[in-house]
């Protein structure tokens, strides 16, 4: 059985971005909240927003 939103989880992991960083930047929520939301497949629009957040955080980490 595959986990929901495995594509987003894998992209975040490869970018070195944690779920709490995504949660904080994307919606200003806690890590537990985003984990709960990700139990169900996110919409393509939500995934696009998260991908943008992952890219922003990745760039910021590269600048440090």
Report residue 13: phi and psi, to 5°: -65, -45
Q: What pLDDT shows up at residue 5?
A: 96
**Sequence-ordered alpha helix ranges (H) in the chain:** 6-15, 19-26, 31-37, 44-63
Mean pLDDT by 10 residues, the chain (64 residues): 91 96 95 95 97 96 86
Q: Against a cut of 0.85, is the pTM above it?
A: yes
Q: What pLDDT shows up at residue 1?
A: 66
- What's the token pair of residue 20? 């709490």
Q: What pLDDT shows up at residue 52?
A: 98
């Amino acid at each position: 059985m595959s986990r929901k939103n495995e594509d987003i989880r894998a992209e975040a992991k490869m970018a070195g971005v944690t779920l709490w960083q995504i949660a904080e930047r994307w919606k200003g929520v806690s890590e537990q909240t985003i984990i709960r939301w990700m139990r169900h497949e996110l919409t393509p629009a939500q995934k696009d927003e998260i991908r943008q957040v992952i890219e922003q955080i990745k760039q910021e980490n590269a600048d440090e």
